[in-house]
Amino acid sequence: MERRQYLGAAAAGTVVGVGGASAYAVLGSEGSGGPPPVSEAEFPPYPDSEVIERSGEGTGTSEPFELVNEGPTIIETSVDHTADDIYNVELQSTVDETLRGVVQVQGPFTGRTSIPPVDPGSYELSVLRASGPWEATVYDVPTYDSGTGMDLPFAFSDGLDTVIGPIDFGEPQQVEFVFQVDGDSRHRLDLVDRTGTIAETLMQNYTSEERSRVRNLGGVGYLYIKSFTTWTLDVSRPATDTSN
């Protein structure tokens, strides 16, 4: 799925025991006293994951599909319609009452969301509101063990909703998260464990000033960002020991 940025869209929406369609700008890894080089990293692939693609136009229900893995369910979706139109998508079981919100936004949108865990089974995407063509790619991800995923340190710059990972935090030790959005608007940074469960909301605010958090983490996890605008995230080991 093409990674288009619709930064005027108004995203609505709600991490440790603790990616290949979309390109993210990687700002750097090793500190060298100057601006880090810019390169691109492709996420997924997620090793041994199942990939399901669906598309349509306007409201309706997708063809059913099977979720078989016990890791996160990550859904990348986009819609092409006017700035005044609403895009609202849910993941629902075809055999019981299981229902998960995927996205509810105003305006054209491309983004990636992490869905709270669901049991393996048959599901479909229900597009409750859309006035134009839409696409969705569902990544049914396994529960990865240590040794799989991105190593620290890293930094990313992107926009709107994004899931970064899997991240291999290694042996339990302190990790520093530095996050900033490019304008005063609602935003949130969640730490997601290897099953897709939100372990902690690291940051949640409405203003653009830079914020940092330090946590003692190990194993494999993900970072789930929800934002109305562009943002920058740095993840590294703190230079000195800092308590939680």
User: Would the pLDDT of 162 be above 70?
Assistant: yes
Which candidate, 173, 136, 138, places its Cα nearest to that of 57?
Answer: 136
User: Would the pLDDT of 236 be above 50?
Assistant: yes
Q: Give the predicted TM-score (pTM) of the model.
A: 0.82
pLDDT at 92: 97
List the single range of 57-61, 121-125, 129-133, 208-212 with lowest mean pLDDT: 208-212
Here the tokens at position 151 are 């190593």
The answer to whether the CB of 49 falls within 8 A of the CB of 222 is no
pLDDT at 208: 82
pLDDT at 39: 40
The Cβ of residue 30 has, within 10 Å, a number of other Cβ atoms equal to 8
What percentage of residues in the chain have a pLDDT greater than 90? 58
pLDDT in tens, 39-93: 444 555 688 899 999 999 999 999 999 999 999 999 999 998 888 899 999 999 9
Domains of the chain: 10-45+143-236 (2.60.120), 50-140 (2.60.120.380)
User: Would the pLDDT of 10 be above 80?
Assistant: no
Here the tokens at position 126 are 């229900």
